[in-house]
Amino acid sequence: MRISALAGLVLACGGLAAGQSTPASKGRDACLACHKEEAVLSTSSHKSLTCLECHSISPVDGTPERPHQKDVPTVDCTRSCHRREAGQAAGPGPAAYADSVHGRAYLERGSLDVAKCWDCHGKHNVRPASDPASTVNRRNIPLVCSTCHADMAVVVKYHIHAESPFQEYLKSVHGRALYREGLLDVAAVCTDCHGVHDIQGAGTPHLKAKDPATCGRCHVLVFEEYKQSIHGRAALEGNVDAPLCVDCHGEHGVTSPQDPAAPTAKTHVPDTCSACHARPEIMSKYGIPEDRIRTFIGSLHGIAVGLGDKAAASCASCHGVHDIRPAADPASKVNPHNLSKTCGQVDCHPGMTEKIATAKIHLDMGRRTSGAPYYVQKLLLWAVLLAAAATAVWFFFALKKRLAGKKTNS
């Protein structure tokens, strides 16, 4: 029985190698005599294929115990099936793998521990993405990616900047939407942001995962606002200094502003903005005062925010969120003509007059240019110093008098 099965395999392989047409089932039967994969293949997307259409084996180099060569060549999925036809435009299809961060590492540098077709899609258990049992079904994609990206040996070896993206993702609004709320078609998964076969490395210019347009595919209205903002216009023109979505919201761990730990939570907004607005080299480049964060923190609003007051105004309360514009822009929330409306929000200062609204928030009390506050601060400082000096003099004479009294009594 064993010998006849092996003989059948040799005949099947020989026929295919010679270009004869052999039905898929007949071509597989001989292979399955040794390789017990029938149950898996019966539900695979490749169930109509013969083994030799993927495995380029030669029966000539086989032995009675092994009717093909010992070292079976690696499968090349883009050789005859998933390939880019002549004249076909480049896209995210399988043919793009060769130019991806994974493909270059594997095909050009021979790194065997990077993602290959079968690491993501499975080997003989390849199923369409719409199948819940598929490894590339939307629900399973984060888990499949974590096979490598949660492996610290891989992370360290390839200097991957995100050490635990899957754990961060699980806590994010995207991860919770997928795994807790079951929003399979709505929640963003790895491939929505990073790409499918065309995934690029973190240092790649115009990286898809950091491109605001990528976020805009889901957050359409937000992206429309961002494109009109001072940040968005600069970013879309290629200015590398302009803040992107990920700079404010984070990458894998994106959380709601209602989450106290979120970088966009009210108490953390000044810190998030300070990543740019407290850097002299960037602020001087665009003619923006570099003290905006420091002066806000010292203001009544800043002090209240620092103490955890959820009603106090933060940077975003006045300047906007995704629609930030320069003060000279008539549509800006901090344009002089709009300040009374901005300050007069229902949860801030209802009924704010235009004159009061023009009062400056970003005042540096240590500079004469701040006007009256500078002199009031100096006056208070001198008052404190004089009071301290008077107290010291009084204490000195009181102590001297007490010591003199003790000396007389003795």
Structure-model confidence comparison of residues 251 and 30, the more confident one: 251
**Residues 127, 45: contact at Cβ < 8 Å?**
yes
More reliable by pLDDT, 376 or 319 = 319
Alpha helix (H) residue ranges in 163-291 = 165-171, 173-179, 190-194, 212-216, 220-228, 230-236, 245-249, 269-277, 280-285
Whether the predicted model's global pTM rises above the 0.75 cut = yes
The first and second tokens of residue 60, run together, are: 């000539």
Q: Determine which of 71-85, 198-212, 293-307 has the lowest per-residue pLDDT on average.
A: 71-85
Residues 205-227, mean pLDDT to the nearest whole number: 96
Q: Are the C-beta atoms of residues 183 and 136 closer than 8 Å to each other?
A: no
Q: What is the mean pLDDT of residues 289-313?
A: 90
How large is the average pLDDT for residues 154-160? 91
Residue 319 predicted with pLDDT over 60? yes
Q: What is the pLDDT of residue 83?
A: 81
Mean pLDDT for the stretch of residues 269-298: 93
Q: At which residue do the structure tokens 């606002």 appear?
A: 225
pLDDT-derived band at 89, boundaries 50, 70, 90: low
Q: What is the pLDDT of residue 371?
A: 66
Residue type, 29: D
pLDDT of residue 40: 86
| Cα–Cα distance, 160 to 154 (Å, whole number) | 8
Per-residue model confidence (pLDDT) at position 377 = 72
What percent of the chain clears pLDDT 90, i.e. is strictly above it? 56
What mean pLDDT is predicted for residues 148-159? Answer: 92
Question: Is residue 178 classed exposed, middle or buried when 0-12, 13-18 and 19+ CB atoms within 10 A define those classes?
Answer: buried
The answer on pLDDT for 165 being more than 60 is yes
Tell me if 197 sits within 8 A of 92, measured CB to CB. yes
